[in-house]
Amino acid sequence: MNSKIIFLGLAGAMSLMLASCSGEEADEILKGDAISFNTSVSRATELTQSNLAGFRVYADADSYKNLFIDGAWAKREGTSNVFTLPTSYYWPQGVQKIRFWAYAPYNGPDAAQVLTPQFSVDEQKFGAYNPKTDLKEAGKEHNDIVVAYTEVTQAAASGSSVELKFHHALSQIEVKAILGEGARKGIKADPDNGVDKGHEGMIVYVKGAWIMNVAGSGTLSFNKQEDAKDNHILWNADANIKGNYGRVTSKKMELDGVAGTPSGLIVNGADATLPYSLMLIPQETKKYTFANESSTAKEGAYILVLCRVESVHEEANHDGALSGSVIPGEDHQTHVHQMFPVSAKFDDKEFGYACVPIDIKWEPGKKYTYTLQFCGTNSGAGVYPPELPTMPDAGDDVVVVEPDTDKKPGTPVLNNPLKFTVTMDEWNSGEVDEKPEMN
């Protein structure tokens, strides 16, 4: 769906004017209509008419040695959908073209600054951005940065609005999970809740998910090349500054079978307790390589999950004995194994960390959804992760089990590695579906 949001009310009824020229240029002004802006956003956006407080505008006029507009604040008037600048700007006499840039969010010089731009007639840098690293509530303090650029001729703009079309500058990331192809969803008997008979299959619970070891900082600039892709958005990601992002889910999630609905582990705005989006630096990052585990560099990205895997089997008795990590079903016709984490006992509070290395190529304005596939015909539950930073408390209902010393990083926690699919969505239409198998 191609969503177009008009920030300033009805097109053609704008009262956003450009701030005044310097005194030495006053004689060059054409006494026609003041320049005004009609703004739109290229795709469905986290910024809306109700929450956009303002944006910042720059302009470069032909033959001017300095910027025609230098970071003026377009500010909302009261509760209306009208944004205005301090004073009016008119098209200068003899100037055929003006280039305009703008970005949001910007709430004035006294507010906390999302970006620190460096703009001149020769170079345009929006500045560095560092999405806050957070392992418990990632995305809570992230910003949806949108930028606009247009080049306008006097003939096209005189007596009408200049259209500023904003584009999303960051990448939006989601993580979901489901049982893989060929997996049968197990059901444990629970007579107290109307489940009299258990069914054979796999049960997977997840209590958290994280995007690990990605570039956590970058500098956003304007790409001057005429044929520049990504709407002239240019990022220089800093691979030396690592970022880890994710969340502990409000409750443990039991995954659906492959024909069901994937559980949202990091889903933008879907959890009522986390009504915000994970917005990260566009980048290319290779997947984590366990062959280099002894290296101090620890390069490469991976998805980390806090999970628990059980297996329901038919028959009341397990070969050998019903002890250790196996318990009888309440229907007396099935029994249940604790497959992961490995433990000497069955404890439904026990969870462990597993991961999937991922190759990353994130582009500006795209949303990437990673759907993890657990315990299918050709997928397992991931591999043991590298050494982790201090992870957040997962709640009173979870006990995190550390792996045994013989479980080296990169070793599958079950028989097969975890698989995933990647869907790339441009926030309006057009999807690219990839199905790589991770080792």
For residues 33 and 88, membership in a common domain is answered with: yes
Burial 146-175 (b: 16+ CB within 10 A, else e): bbbbbebebeebeeebbbbbbbbbbbbbbb
Is residue 75 in a domain? yes
Is residue 133 in a domain? no
For residues 304 and 413, membership in a common domain is answered with: yes
pLDDT of residue 26: 32
For residues 276 and 385, membership in a common domain is answered with: yes
For residues 334 and 231, membership in a common domain is answered with: yes
For residues 94 and 182, membership in a common domain is answered with: no
User: Which of 153, 168, 183 marks a domain boundary?
Assistant: 168
For residues 161 and 207, membership in a common domain is answered with: no
CA distances, 419 to each of 81, 374, 438 (Å): 46, 7, 6
Is residue 4 in a domain? no
For residues 306 and 405, membership in a common domain is answered with: yes
For residues 247 and 386, membership in a common domain is answered with: yes
Is residue 2 in a domain? no
Number of domains present in the structure of the chain:
2
Is residue 18 in a domain? no
pLDDT of residue 129: 98
Which parts of the chain sit beneath pLDDT 70? Answer: 1-50, 81-83, 158-160, 268-275, 292-297, 316-324, 417, 427-439
Q: Structural domain of residue 45, as residue ranges? A: 23-105+144-168
For residues 276 and 160, membership in a common domain is answered with: no
The pLDDT tens digits for 283-313 are 999 999 987 666 666 789 999 999 999 999 8
For residues 48 and 82, membership in a common domain is answered with: yes
- State which amino acid sits at residue 9: G
pLDDT of residue 241: 95
For residues 197 and 91, membership in a common domain is answered with: no
**Model's pTM, two decimal places?**
0.84
Is residue 327 in a domain? yes
For residues 222 and 288, membership in a common domain is answered with: yes
Is residue 137 in a domain? no
Q: CATH no. for residue 163?
A: 2.60.40
The pLDDT tens digits for 316-363 are 666 655 456 888 888 788 899 999 999 989 999 999 999 999 999 999
Is residue 27 in a domain? yes
